[in-house]
């Protein structure tokens, strides 16, 4: 038996090894008890509604969430999914949501208690999911809800598939909002959290698939902002994603979604329980390079 064969057999016979142990990551400031309290803070009257807005069908809208505040994406008319981006409000062109690292740390689909992590060199929690009324888990096909495995639908892939322009896909929606409202560029739009989407990989071909979203009127997902955030979301033109992208024979039904931003009535409650905004990653930033650490950190610390 050759060494190459031995390596093939070793791989096939070894049980999966999770790359990251979540318990080794920094614990949530304030602990699980605080986050359990946050789960019902709105219902229990501990938070005040500060802003509400509606994302029209096939459009995007953005909003700001100060650290320590909550926001919800609410299904209030009909089953609809959303593609969500997050940036640091203090330096949006440098720090944004890092979907693949979030996937590596947590899972292909996010649940209550999971955190949304930012990219290098910051790599810190941007937000934490404090409530998810769908609580879908995984079904027998391996599908889950709120995925970080699929990117946003975009006009470039659509052009290859249909040879037609589509200016109301999620990438275009997010780009219009970023450029027109937030002073950003198309390159600042990034891979998303697919809110309410029910997705997975086929067992035979391992292809990305979708199912009709299980979201119903009254469902919502709620987040705690761990730093000052700029958030944007697009109501996907695929509606509940029960129709494949590029299928010109069927027209999806698309609904609006509602955004709610809440502020805790007791502004000191979080800090009294040990919570504080996420600090920047503690890595020195030197990379064992000839340049000084201060030069390499200049990008990270830029305003």
**pLDDT, tens only, 166-218:** 888 999 999 999 999 999 999 999 999 999 999 999 999 999 999 999 999 99
Give me the DSSP letters along 90-126.
Answer: SSTTT-BB-HHHHHHHS-SB--TT-EEEB-TTT--EE
- Residue 118 pLDDT more than 90? yes
Phi-psi category of residue 171: left, alpha or beta, with phi > 0 → left and psi -120 to 50 → alpha: alpha
- Give the 3-state secondary structure percentages of the chain, helix then strand then coil, rounded to 5: 20, 25, 50
What pLDDT score does 292 carry? 55
Among the residue ranges 13-17, 103-107, 127-131, 165-169, the one predicted with the least confidence is 165-169
| 92 within 8 A of 189, measured Cβ to Cβ | no
Q: Which residue has the tokens 């807005």?
A: 53
Q: Is the pTM of this model over 0.85?
A: yes
Every domain of the chain and the residues it spans = 25-279+291-301
pLDDT at residue 161, rounded to an integer: 84
> Is the pLDDT at 293 greater than 60, yes or no?
no
pLDDT at 277: 97
DSSP letter for each residue of 178-194: HHHHHS--GGG----EE
The confidence score (pLDDT) of residue 162 equals 84
Given this model, what pLDDT does residue 303 score? Answer: 54
How does the average pLDDT of the chain come out, rounded? 92
Instruction: Report the C-alpha gap between 232 and 188 in whole angstroms.
Output: 12
At 97, give phi and psi (nearest 5°): -60, 135
pLDDT in tens, 209-231: 999 999 999 999 999 999 999 99
- Tokens 């919502």 label which residue? 220
């Amino acid at each position: 038996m050759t060494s190459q064969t031995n390596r093939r057999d070793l791989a096939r016979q070894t049980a999966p090894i999770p790359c990251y142990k979540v318990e080794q990551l920094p614990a949530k400031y304030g602990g699980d008890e605080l986050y359990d309290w946050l789960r019902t803070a709105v219902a229990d009257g501990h938070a005040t509604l500060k802003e509400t807005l509606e994302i029209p069908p096939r459009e995007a809208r953005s909003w700001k969430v100060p650290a320590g505040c909550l926001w919800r994406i609410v299904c209030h008319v009909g089953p609809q999914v959303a593609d969500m981006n997050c940036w640091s409000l203090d330096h949006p062109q440098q720090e944004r949501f890092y979907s693949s690292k979030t996937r590596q740390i947590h899972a292909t689909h996010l649940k209550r208690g999971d955190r949304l992590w930012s990219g290098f060199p910051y790599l810190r929690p941007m937000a934490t999911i404090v409530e998810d009324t769908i609580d879908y888990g995984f079904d027998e096909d391996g599908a889950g809800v709120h995925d970080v495995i699929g990117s946003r639908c975009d006009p470039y892939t659509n052009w290859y598939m249909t040879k037609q322009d589509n200016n109301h896909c999620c990438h275009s929606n997010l780009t219009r909002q970023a450029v027109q409202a937030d002073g950003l560029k198309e390159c600042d739009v990034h891979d998303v959290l697919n809110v309410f989407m029910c997705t997975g990989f086929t067992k035979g071909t391992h292809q990305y698939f979708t199912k009709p979203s299980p979201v119903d009127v009254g469902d919502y997902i709620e987040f705690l902002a761990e730093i000052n955030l700029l958030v944007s979301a697009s109501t996907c033109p695929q509606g509940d994603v029960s129709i494949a992208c590029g299928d010109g024979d069927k027209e999806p039904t698309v609904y609006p979604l509602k955004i709610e931003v809440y502020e805790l009535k007791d502004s000191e409650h979080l800090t009294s329980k040990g919570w504080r905004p996420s600090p920047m990653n503690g890595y020195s930033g030197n990379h064992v390079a000839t340049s000084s650490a201060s030069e390499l950190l200049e990008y990270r610390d830029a305003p």
